[in-house]
Structure 1
Amino acid sequence: MSTTREFKPINIAILTISDTRTETDDTSGHLLVEKLTAAGHQLADKAIVKDDIYHIRAIVSRWIADTNVHAIISTGGTGVTGRDGTPEAIKPLLDKELDGFGEIFRMISYEEIKTSTIQSRAIAGVANGTYIFCVPGSSGACRTAWDKLIQDQLDYRHRPCNLVELMPRLLEK
């Protein structure tokens, strides 16, 4: 009996949160699209939205209501300036938070950017059976989040466990 699992591609939406980026210069969003497609997943949708909690919630709410979107990765708006509102926009939508995501992201980032990592309010959770990951807007932070956390957790083959294998049970009551 083989213990090797087959890869299960999922549909992932990418949301860039920025007051200044456009599709032309959205390096972080493009990086995430490249990473997810190279891993074998499908791009469900991609959007750029101003850093406004209601505009962010509108797009994310539409995606979490869409049964064809399995995960959302947002980039940007996780800092501490007055315009950074991604955690405030997303947290009310979450059914459950994945506290370890932000903790591990900051731990890994510490190795790369030292104490500057305290400025990151990266979060993750699940809403209506859809995983949501909110990471900082820099390409380096997106690369770190994907390569060292998200990629393995969205790969059904990853052992000892991963988030994909839990998908059928996310909506249990």
Structure 2
Amino acid sequence: MIPIHHEDKKYSLRYRIVTVSTSRTMENDRSGTIMEELLENKASRGLVKDDEVMILSDLFINYGSTDVFIYIGGTGISRLDQTSMAIRKIADREVRGFGELFREKSGGVFPYISDASLFIYKKKIIFTVPGSEDAQKIAFEIINGMVNHLYHEINKE
């Protein structure tokens, strides 16, 4: 676990997992299921197509009931992959260190062509991670290690 600075407080954060895909359904979305299990089934779930309007609509619709959004998929380099680009357009801040750490921990070459990232939007924490099943455990370990500190920092004012 990544150490936090001065606070040991654990927040009861509300998570939303949003799978972004043109081919998956809720029934065959193995990556979303893995992330949901890692979050101990304490997250709401959604699935949207690789479409900027749909990606952002889910965020706006669930804004009031969610503290942490985890978008799974749509972070690659195909013309259909729009997740990080869509979030980047509205984000107040992008924290590139999450993507860097994700790529480092993933190993190999392919993670380096992923646009995994961390964004802050109006005091909401938004992660974008690749859609592969293997990526979910790595992403979760990083997210779990930093999310309480992130939440504290963006809400301490």
Q: TM-score, normalised on structure 1?
A: 0.81
Runs of at least 5 residues in structure 2 that lack an aligned partner in the other structure: 1-5
Alignment correspondent of 2:11: 8
Alignment correspondent of 2:137: 143
Three-state SS of the structure 1 residue aligned to 2:39 is helix
Three-state SS of the structure 1 residue aligned to 2:136 is helix
Residue 146 of structure 2 corresponds to residue 153 of structure 1: yes
Show CA shifts across 1:98-150 (max 9, x none): 1111111111112xxx1122221101111011100000001111111112x10
CA distance, structure 1, for counterparts of residue 105 and residue 9 of structure 2: 28
Asked if structure 2 preserves the Cα contact closer than 8 Å seen for 1:31 and 1:139, the reply is yes
Asked if structure 1 preserves the Cα contact closer than 8 Å seen for 2:75 and 2:81, the reply is yes
User: Offset of 1:7 from its aligned partner?
Assistant: 3.1
Alignment correspondent of 2:37: 34
Residue 120 of structure 2 corresponds to residue 126 of structure 1: yes
Three-state SS of the structure 2 residue aligned to 1:84 is coil
Residue 80 of structure 2 corresponds to residue 93 of structure 1: no
Alignment correspondent of 1:159: none
Residue 12 of structure 2 corresponds to residue 25 of structure 1: no
Runs of at least 5 residues in structure 1 that lack an aligned partner in the other structure: 157-161
Residue in structure 1 matching 2:109, options 109, 115, 118 = 115
Show CA shifts across 1:1-48 (max 9, x none): xx994532210001000011111111111111111127xxx32x2110
Q: Which amino acid aligns with 2:29?
A: D
Asked if structure 1 preserves the Cα contact closer than 8 Å seen for 2:18 and 2:32, the reply is yes
User: Offset of 1:87 from its aligned partner?
Assistant: 1.3
CA distance, structure 2, for counterparts of residue 152 and residue 49 of structure 1: 27
Residue 129 of structure 2 corresponds to residue 168 of structure 1: no
RMSD between superposed Cα atoms in Å: 1.8
**Larger C-alpha radius of gyration, 1 or 2?**
1
CA distance, structure 2, for counterparts of residue 153 and residue 104 of structure 1: 12
Asked if structure 2 preserves the Cα contact closer than 8 Å seen for 1:61 and 1:93, the reply is no
CA distance, structure 2, for counterparts of residue 106 and residue 151 of structure 1: 16
Q: TM-score, normalised on structure 2?
A: 0.89
Three-state SS of the structure 2 residue aligned to 1:102 is helix
Identity of aligned residues (%): 30
* Matched positions, count: 152
Alignment correspondent of 2:77: 80
